[in-house]
Every structure is written in structure tokens, then in C-alpha cells.
Amino acid sequence: MNVSRHKPILFLITALIALSIITLSSCPAQATARLLSSDTLLRQSKQWDRQLVRFRGEVIGDIMLRGTHCWINVNDGSQALGVYCPTELVKSIRYVGDYRYSGDMVEIIGTFHRACPQHGGELDIHAEALKIIRPGARRPHPVMISKLYLAMSLFSCTLLIMGLYVYRKRLKPRRNK
């Protein structure tokens, strides 16, 4: 067999294998992390302690910057968990959830800590990757007409009863005279 003839092919295969190994080792999160809910993480915290996990939910409240890292809180509908991540990961987050907005839905891949030694025993996730899976949006809060009518009628009744009260109060000293 003429090896020199197959040299380019062998080189290509070796390069492909090396590239695959490098790619896999540079992003182990995507390869091994399992998607878990907050309920599972809280109830089976021992089992998942220091494991790489995938967690999805809505970013709520604030993005709290602390130097090179920051804290976000991610709510999966059942419970919100604290996520500690490098600041550059949160740059893509546009909306955080509050009364006016639904926050961006994100997928976090990171190490789960049942009692984080770095953060005084807090249960948290240290994010290694963050992906926005659905952007947030403004939450509509239309004023209900029935509520408006109810408020107006009750307000009229209140004014009426207040008037009656004041009238009776004024009448009382005259009666006493």
C-alpha cells in the first residue's frame, strides 16, 4: 500500500478528530448538562450538587452587577433561583420580568450548588452559558370596563353617604338647641 498517496486523507481525518475533541472539550456543558426544574433542584439538591445542569426560566426583577460578575434571578414558573454569571453573558438580556414586562426566557447551563462555598452557603447556579430562548415583551394591562363602572358607582355612593354624614353632624347641634 502506498502510504504517501493516502497521506492527505489521513491528515484530514486526524485533523477532523482533533477538531471534534477540541470542540467537545471546550463546551462540555452542551454535551452533558441535563434540563432540570427548580422543583427537582430544590428537592433533589444533594443529588445535583456541583453537577452541570441546564435550567430554563424567565429573568425577573433586576440584573445586579457586581464587578466582573452579576446576579440574575430566573423563575421557571414554580420558583426563582439565583444565577451567578460573568457580566458578558447577560449583555444580550433586554427585558427583566416585573409588572410591566415579561422577562426574557433564558436557558442557563452551569454548575448547581446546594450550598455554595463562595456565596455563604446559598443555593445557586454558577452559569457558564446563557442563551435567550424567547425574548420578553410588554405585558398588556387593559383597564376592565366593569371595574371602572363599579369604581364609579361606589365612589358616588361614598360621596352620598359622606354628604349624609356631614348633614347629620350639622343637624345634631341644632337639634340639641
Partner 1 sequence: MLLRPHKNDYKIIGYYTGKIIIGVGLVMVVPLLTSLLFAEWGPALDFVIGICACFITGLGLIMLCETDRDLLWMHGMVTAAFSWVLATLLGAIPHYLSGHFLSYLDACFDIMSGYTTTGLVLIQDLDHVSHGLNMWRHLLTYLGGQGMIVVAITFLFKGTAGAYRLYVGEGKDERLMPNVIQTARAIWMISLTYLAVGGAMLFVANMLAGMSPIRSLLHGLWIFMGSWSTGGFAPQTQNLLYYHSPLVEFITIIIFVIGSYNFALHYSIWQGNYHEVRRNIETVSFSTTVTITCILSFLGLMQAFAYPNVFALLRRCLYQIVSAHTTTGNMTVYAVQFVNHWNLLAAIGIMIAMSIGGSACSTAGGIKGLRVGILFKALINDIHRIFSPDSAIIIHKFHHIRDVVLEDRHVRAASLITISYMGIYLLGAVVGLFYGYPLLPSLFDSISAGSNSGLSCGLTCAAMPSVMKMVYIFMMWAGRLEFMSIFALLGFIWAQAKGR
Contact set with partner 1 (CB under 8 A): 42-43, 45-46, 60-66, 70-71, 73, 75, 79-80, 82, 84, 97-99, 102, 114-117, 119-124, 139, 141-144, 147-148, 150-151, 154-155, 157-158, 161-162, 164-165, 168
- The residue among 69 and 131 lying less far from partner 1, judged by its C-beta, is 69
Least distance from partner 1 to the Cβ atom of residue 81, Å: 8
Least distance from partner 1 to the Cβ atom of residue 128, Å: 18
DSSP class of 171: H
Q: Which of 100, 99, 123 is nearest to 112 (CA)?
A: 123
Name the grid cell of 88.
458578558
Pairing relationship of beta strands 52-66 and 34-35 according to DSSP bridges: parallel
Could you tell me which residues come within 8 angstroms of residue 54 by beta carbon, excluding any fewer than 6 positions away?
29, 33, 34, 35, 36, 107, 108, 109
Ramachandran class of 67: left when φ > 0, alpha when ψ lies in -120 to 50, beta otherwise: left
- The residue among 5 and 66 lying less far from partner 1, judged by its C-beta, is 66
First to last CA, the chain: 130
- The residue among 22 and 164 lying less far from partner 1, judged by its C-beta, is 164
Least distance from partner 1 to the Cβ atom of residue 32, Å: 23
Return the residue matching grid coordinates 353632624: 169
Give the C-alpha separation, 108 to 36, whole Å.
10
- The residue among 11 and 149 lying less far from partner 1, judged by its C-beta, is 149
Least distance from partner 1 to the Cβ atom of residue 171, Å: 12
Least distance from partner 1 to the Cβ atom of residue 172, Å: 9
- The residue among 107 and 122 lying less far from partner 1, judged by its C-beta, is 122
